[in-house]
Amino acid sequence: MARLVFRSEFLNRCVILLLFVSVKASSGSSLEKTSAFFIFGDSTVDTGNNNYIKTTPENQANFKPYGQNGFFGGPTGRFSDGRVIVDFIASYANLPLIPPFLEPSSDYINGVNFASGGAGVLPETHQGLVIDLPTQLKYFEKVKKTLTENRGEAEAKVLISEAVYFISIGSNDYMGGYLDNPKMQQDYQPEDYLSMVIGNLTEAIQVLYQKGGRKFGFLGLSPLGCLPALRALNLNKESEGGCFEAASALAEAHNNALKGILTTLEYIFKDFKYSNANFYNWLEDRMNNPGNYGFKEGVNACCGYGPYRGMFTCGGNKNMSEYYLCDSPDDHVWWDSFHPTERIHEQLAKALWDGPSSSIGPFNLRDLFITTTIADAVDSPQPRSYHSQF
């Protein structure tokens, strides 16, 4: 009798797995069936959460000319002329658009987006004006509880285990949280502040693993000092202008530290799989050599005013006469003073989806969406024994 019960339980689990995470490759870059998609981060991946919170115009994008390319019919809260990277990834994974968590009546079966424009890893970054990463993790716990109540513990456990967790955050901690915060600079040396950011990000990854997550995608930081806003700031400080190297140095150090942490976590945690993008070099090459990638302009933003059109996030004053809007955003790497155009988001999404190991690794996102981890959902493995400190 014991053997029959075991086989019945095993078959039930297999049925659940097939229903919710079975995948089958099809022609092109999409899949017929795929895993859920949970998104954490800042304005690079915010699809509208900041529409529902009280914040500053710089942290919102629910007004024109955002969304002006017509894909959504108008502004949605995305910091882009149209779609952002996670919209494309969802499409490649044969998922619908992943809704923002704060959008009423969201359905969590395909995942949900917790990202918030202006958010940081640290709760102190733009405190009170954004949904910081610790709060995003709390929201995920609510989603997990709802899935368990609605789908049952077994189904929810498999869905959580098979989901892909995409994390894109950290820029605001260094730009607004540190370089634009004299008190933080007084209290922390750059390397100590960076260690604090990386430490808190590591803890967040561990929390998601402990709650059942096994497959993670990461978007590293761009050359922050070369954003139009930071170039404009540097022009005010140094007559020759150019990239604000202190910001780019912090971004590069963050990326190197994250790479080391992920290698360690892969060793510590059983079945921990991840995709990490070399976003820094990827975007830097497009800024320096725009013509190689189909762009005409790699430095100046499409929308904004002042040097590099980097003095203000476009449209924030809701006065069309006070900012410039280019004729063809597709010719530009940068949409506004901080954010790239939809075309950059699309190119990056394609690279993340099935790019080579030289720029995406150790897995690309397609690998993660088609990889199943039934053992994790059934057995809830414990971390491997490891005694070194991060």
Mean pLDDT for the stretch of residues 13-31: 39
> Is 23 part of a structural domain of the chain?
no
Q: Is residue 388 part of a domain?
A: no
pLDDT of residue 385: 30
Nearest alpha carbon to residue 78 among 106, 104, 54, 97? 97
> Tens digits of per-residue pLDDT, 85-130?
999 999 999 999 999 999 987 789 999 999 999 999 999 999 999 9
pLDDT tens for 155-201 read 999 999 999 999 999 999 999 999 999 999 999 999 999 999 999 99
Looking at the structure of the chain, the number of domains it has is 1
Q: What is the pLDDT of residues 316-331, one digit of tens each?
A: 765 445 789 999 999 9
Looking at the domain assignment, is residue 167 inside a domain?
Answer: yes
Model pLDDT, residue 96: 95
Q: How far apart are CA 147 and CA 141, in angstroms?
A: 10
Is 362 a domain residue? yes
Query: Higher model confidence: residue 317 or residue 136?
Result: 136
**pLDDT in the model for residue 359:** 80
Distance, in Å, from the CA atom of 313 to the CA atom of 50, rounded to the nearest integer, reads 15
pLDDT at position 107 is: 80
Asked if 31 and 158 count as a contact pair (C-beta separation under 8 A), the reply is no
Cα distances from 89 to residues 13, 116, 192, 345, in angstroms, run: 28, 18, 34, 10
Alpha-carbon distance of 334 to 330, in angstroms, equals 9
Whether the per-residue pLDDT at 297 is higher than 70: the answer is: yes
- 193-220 mean pLDDT: 98
In a domain? residue 272? yes
Q: Looking at per-residue confidence, does 29 or 291 come out higher?
A: 291
At 148 the pLDDT is 95
Among residues 344, 309, 340, the alpha carbon closest in space to that of 323 is found at 309
Would strands 37-41 and 164-168 be described as parallel, antiparallel, or unpaired?
parallel
Residue 169 within a domain: yes
On whether the CB atoms of residues 130 and 119 are closer than 8 A, the answer is yes
Helix segments in the chain, DSSP class H: 2-21, 85-92, 133-151, 153-162, 171-174, 182-187, 190-210, 228-237, 245-268, 279-288, 342-354, 365-370, 374-379
pLDDT band of residue 241 (cuts 50, 70, 90) is low
pLDDT for 9 equals 44
Mean pLDDT of 272-293: 96
Strand partners, 218: 167, 276
Instruction: Tell me the CA distances in angstroms from 304 to 13, 67, 125, 223, 326, one per residue in order.
Output: 54, 15, 24, 20, 9
**Which residue in this structure is represented by tokens 């109540």?**
149
Give the structural domain span for 229.
Answer: 32-370
pLDDT at 95: 96
Decide if 244 contacts 231 (C-beta within 8 A): yes
pTM higher than the cut 0.85? yes
- Alpha carbon distance 82, 72 (integer Å): 7
**Which of 301-305, 340-344, 378-382: highest mean pLDDT?**
340-344
375 CB-side CA count, 13 A: 6
Task: Give dist(CA 171, CA 367) in Å, integer.
Answer: 27
Residues with catalytic function: 43, 336, 339
Mean confidence (pLDDT) of the chain: 86
Tell whether the model's pLDDT for residue 10 goes beyond 50. no
pLDDT at 290 over 90: yes
In a domain, 267, yes or no: yes
pLDDT at 318: 53
In-domain check, residue 73: yes
Structure tokens, 11 = 């078959």
Residue 64 is part of a domain; what is its CATH number? 3.40.50.1110
Rounded to whole angstroms, the Cα distance separating 328 from 341 reads 10
CA 78 – CA 66 distance, rounded (Å)? 7
Q: Does the structure show a pLDDT above 80 at 223?
A: yes
Its sign, for the CA torsion 201, 202, 208, 211, is negative
Residue 19 scores a pLDDT above 50:
no
The encoded tokens of residue 72 equal 């959504």
The pLDDT-based confidence of 315 (bands split at 50, 70, 90) is confident
Most confident of 31-35, 268-272, 384-388: 268-272
Mean pLDDT of 123-147: 97
Q: Are 212 and 157 in contact (CB under 8 A)?
A: yes
Residue pair 146/155 in contact by the 8 Å Cβ criterion: no
pLDDT grade for 235, boundaries at 50, 70 and 90 = confident
